Amino acid sequence: MGTTILLVDDDVGARRTLASLLQRFGFRVVEAEDGPEALITARTLVPDLVLSDYNMPGMNGAALLRELRTSLPELASVPFILFSGYIDHWTGTAEDPTPDVVLAKPVTVERLLGEINAVLKRRRAADHVDPVNKPAV
């Protein structure tokens, strides 16, 4: 089984288009239409990466990230890419968790795939660090 991406976007057309694109590049994509649905799905699925729109009604992408990182320990280290056509709204506070990547829409296929692959590579490298022999930073 390939890498599983949880794709969260309330715009069904954009979500399905992006899901189809990611599937063509070998990713397994599970879709959620909003933050609450994504939380339920993430708990049972434990995806390799979450790719979420920022601007969604109810629970926006930042609130979803906060919930995943602070309330669900088993999901705290899952990479999170936040994207939006309104990226200037992403302000975050010192207390808020920071997404691994923030992308402004529209984003090219090359840039999106590059960011996904880079985040997954960093995650795999972090998973292979021996905590006893971890180099000092």
Each residue's pLDDT tens digit, 38-85:
999 999 999 999 999 998 998 989 899 999 998 888 899 999 999 988
According to DSSP, the residues that pair with 84 across neighbouring strands are: 104
Confidence of residue 18 (pLDDT cuts 50, 70, 90): very high
Residue 36, domain member (yes or no): yes
Q: Which residues contact 47 (CB under 8 A, 6 or more apart)?
A: 4, 5, 6, 30, 78
Range(s) of the domain holding residue 29: 4-127
Do residues 83 and 103 make contact, with C-beta atoms less than 8 angstroms apart? yes
Residue 100, domain member (yes or no): yes
Q: Which residues contact 132 (CB under 8 A, 6 or more apart)?
A: none
Residue 134, domain member (yes or no): no
Residue 82, domain member (yes or no): yes
Residue 13, domain member (yes or no): yes
> What pLDDT score does 135 carry?
47
- Structural domain total, the chain: 1
CATH code of the domain in which 31 resides: 3.40.50.2300
